[in-house]
Amino acid sequence: MLIRKNDTVVVIKGSDASPDHKTIAKVLEVYPKENKVLVEGINVVWKHVRPSRRNPRGGRVQKEMPISAANVMLYCPRCQRGVRVGRRYLADGTKERYCKKCKNSLGTIGPRAKRRQGVATSSPSSSS
Ligand SMILES: [Zn+2]
């Protein structure tokens, strides 16, 4: 899954999706194990909660429920639409996401490549 927390996504399926794919929202949480994402304002349900210490009266609260990651597409600011995303590696080994349409970078993901030891040899470059 190439979607990360705080990403902007377009909801393409489900009751909160608009037919023209204009439903743009922010990802609040990702659940990689279940391949699901929690999207702000999407799939909001009324939860009926029992009285608890935090909520002594109980009742109904509105709450987002996770939706399948397959129902959202990452939003590309350059294309201004939801796009398919690829992954590629930069010269320094950093993993990066990119828009498959415009090849624009959509930010780095994953752990950075391990720094090779001995690269940062601080030699005073006074060779002239
Ligand atoms: Zn793009």
What residues are neighbours of ligand 1 (ion), with CB under 5 Å? 76, 78-79, 99, 101-102, 104
76 Cα–ligand 1 center, Å: 5
Provide the residue range defining the domain that includes 74: 8-50+58-83
pLDDT of residue 94: 87
114 Cα–ligand 1 center, Å: 29
| Domain membership flag for residue 68 | yes
28-54 as b/e: b if 16+ CB within 10 A: bebeeeeebbbbeebbeeeeeeeeeee
Two tokens at 99?
């828009």
Q: What CATH number is associated with residue 37?
A: 2.30.30.30
Number of structural domains found in the chain: 1
pLDDT of residue 128: 54
| Domain membership flag for residue 115 | no
pLDDT of residue 58: 86
100 Cα–ligand 1 center, Å: 7
| Domain membership flag for residue 114 | no
| Domain membership flag for residue 117 | no
18 Cα–ligand 1 center, Å: 20
62 Cα–ligand 1 center, Å: 34
| Domain membership flag for residue 125 | no
| Domain membership flag for residue 39 | yes
Collapse the DSSP code of 47 into the 3-class scheme (helix H, G, I; strand E, B; otherwise coil) and give the result.
strand
Q: What tens digit of pLDDT does each residue of 7-57 get?
A: 999 999 988 988 888 899 999 999 999 999 999 999 999 999 899 888 888
| Domain membership flag for residue 113 | no
CA distance 31 to 12: 18
Two tokens at 5?
């927390």
